[in-house]
Amino acid sequence: MTKIILVRHGETVWNKELKYQGHTDTLLSDEGLRQAELVAARLAAEKIDAVYASDLRRACVTAETIAARHDLPVTCLPELREILFGEWEGLTYEGISDRWPEEYTQLFTRTEEVRIPGGETFRELKDRAAGAIARLVERHSGQTVAVVSHGGTIRTIICAALNIHLNHLWDIRLDNTCVSIIEYHKQRSILTLLNDIHHLRPSGCR
C-alpha cells in the first residue's frame, strides 16, 4: 500500500479576489503563508518519505514549508499543475460568466467535456495528474508521499482514484491547505480523509 497525502496550496490574493488562476504563477498571500505553516505543523508528526508539488510557486512554497519539517527536498512536477484556464486566467467568476455564458454553464453541468477557451479540458487534466500519481505510487511502493497541488487537480485525482465521473467534480469541496489522504492498494484505492482543515482552527479543534 502506498499512502498519498494530498494538500491544496495556501491562499493567494487571487483566491481572495475570486479570480481563476490556472497556470498563472501567483504567490501566496500573508494568510496563505500562515496556512502553510499550520499545515506543516499538522503534518510534522506524520511519517513522510517524499514530497512532490506542482511547479507553480503557490504549491512549491507550501510544499517547501511542509518538507522542511521532515528535512526532505521537494520535487516539482508540471503534471501536477492546475488546469490551464487559458483566456479565463485573471478573470473573476462574474467576468467569465458575462463573456462566455454557455461555456461557463457547461463548466458545472458538462465538466468532463467542456473545453475552456485557450485552455484544457478536465479530462486532459485528469489524464496528466492521475498519470503522475500512478507513477509516484509505483516509485514509492509501501511509502507515504505528500503531494501539494491545486483544487481542480486534486479533485480529478480523487475522481480517478474512486472512479467518479468528472461531471461530479464540483461536488468535492477542497479548502486552502486542506489535507486529503488516499491509500493505493493492489485491488483498490481508498479515500481515508477529505478536506481536513482542523489545523486552521483555534487550538486545532474540529
Give the DSSP H/E element, type plus range, for residue 93.
helix 93-99
Among 32, 43, 41, which residue's Cα sits nearest to residue 5? 43
Among 167, 166, 153, 161, which residue's Cα sits nearest to residue 193? 161
Q: Is 82 one of the annotated active-site residues of the chain?
A: yes
Among 168, 86, 81, which residue's Cα sits nearest to residue 120? 86
CB 184 within 8 A of CB 4: yes
Q: Which of 82, 89, 120, 150 is catalytic?
A: 82
Q: Which of 9, 11, 64, 150 is catalytic?
A: 9
Kindly give the interhelix angle for 122-139 and 151-162, rounded to the nearest 10 degrees. 70
Residue 51 bridge partners (DSSP): 74, 146
What is d(CA 189, CA 88) in angstroms, rounded to the nearest whole number? 33
What is d(CA 87, CA 40) in angstroms, rounded to the nearest whole number? 34
**Residue type, position 37, single letter:** E
Q: Is 9 one of the annotated active-site residues of the chain?
A: yes
Return the active site residues: 9, 82
